[in-house]
Amino acid sequence: MSPFGFTRSRRAPGRTPDGRRGVARTIGVSTATLTVLALSAVSLPAQAAPAVQPTVSLASAATAPAGWKLAWADEFSGTTLNRAVWNVANRSTYGDGNKELACLMDRPQNVKVSSGLLTIAARKEATPITCGTRDTRFPAGRTYTSAMLHTKNKLAFQYGRFEIRAKMPTTQGTSKGLWPAYWMRPAAGGIGELDILELIGTGKSDPYSADKVSQTIHYDYVGTHRKQSQVHKLASGNFADGFHNYAVEWAPGSIKWFVDGTLTYTRTLSTTSWIDKAFVGKFYLRLNMAVGGTWPGSPDANTAFPANYQVDYVRVFRR
């Protein structure tokens, strides 16, 4: 999901070029400064088995699926975020193009690593938070805060299996306006967006959808080619009631989505003529939760804050 600005643009038909420019201002970096790590150059951190928590079932140390080798992982062990890999937006208005509401903050209230988990927390603030230097939409500050992490200029991959194990905050009826996502964008900029997962929260009057995840690719944000997307529905349970595993396998001419190890969606050259035009070169990782915006709508009185998007791990495998 390009929940923020870009991502959301696809889902948000009304998104404007201004929104995209806003994004670029927020996180744009000269390509001359890129120091992207090649898959083969990534050294693996020691994988200690995380301590078992009383209320959370944590995965053990990374195990590669058959046919894959672990290339990189963050198990979110310890108590600090690995800043060598992750950038955290701070007082960023990213997502204005999607009419998102949250100020994206780099502070423990919104981004925390503890008990083997990364927690991205969306909050409703008692006092508005001043966001950015020229926040023309909310000059008096923003009521909602959240967070966005990304690996631009630090870590990117071409092809591989990209996994995340996470518990979603999109509880049925009490999560209107929340938009958690895990997605990828090209390290060198340009077209192509690969959304491993996006979920949309619901209000009391919305149909049941806590069991649904969107799986999407975008060519660009001006509609040169239509996005291709599907909604996968869990056979039982929902994505907010526990941890689930989401994965994408990206290879030349092929992108496959998995949920809890089951193949759910496949795009190839025969379904998507532009797949190898949009998905070339290295892509970096984006992990975020938007609040509000054209797609999810605004939070309502029943939306429970703080809302926690909990990530057990993100792992990347190569053949």
**163 part of the active site:** no
181's CB contacts (< 8 A; 6+ apart) are 1, 2, 3, 7, 195, 197, 198, 199, 286, 287, 288, 289, 290
The binding site for Ca ion (CB under 5 A) comprises 50, 75-76, 116, 312-313
Cis peptide before 54 (omega within 30 of 0): no
Provide, rounded to whole angstroms, the least separation between the CB of residue 53 and Ca ion: 10
Task: Using the minimum distance from each CB to Ca ion, give the nearer residue, 49 or 269.
Answer: 49
E strand or H helix at 29: none
Q: Is 198 annotated as catalytic?
A: yes
Rounded to whole angstroms, the Cα distance separating 5 from 186 reads: 15
Annotated catalytic residue within 100, 163, 193, 249: 193
DSSP result, 85-140: T-EE--SB-TTGGGT--PEE--STTTEEEETTEEEEEEEEEEEEEP-SS--SS-TT
Nearest to Ca ion of 31, 53 (CB atom): 53
The two tokens of residue 150 are: 């990304």
Compute the least distance from the CB of residue 61 to Ca ion, in Å: 10
Nearer to Ca ion by Cβ, of 246 and 313: the residue is: 313
**Using CB atoms, what's the residue nearest to Ca ion?**
116
**Active-site residue, from 75, 100, 163, 198:** 198
In this complex, which beta carbon is closest to Ca ion, that of residue 56 or of residue 280?
A: 56
Q: Which residues contact 154 (CB under 8 A, 6 or more apart)?
A: 35, 36, 37, 84, 85, 86, 87, 284
Closest approach, Cβ 157 to Ca ion, in A, equals 20
CB of 62 to Ca ion, least distance (A): 10
Please give the positions annotated as active site.
193, 198
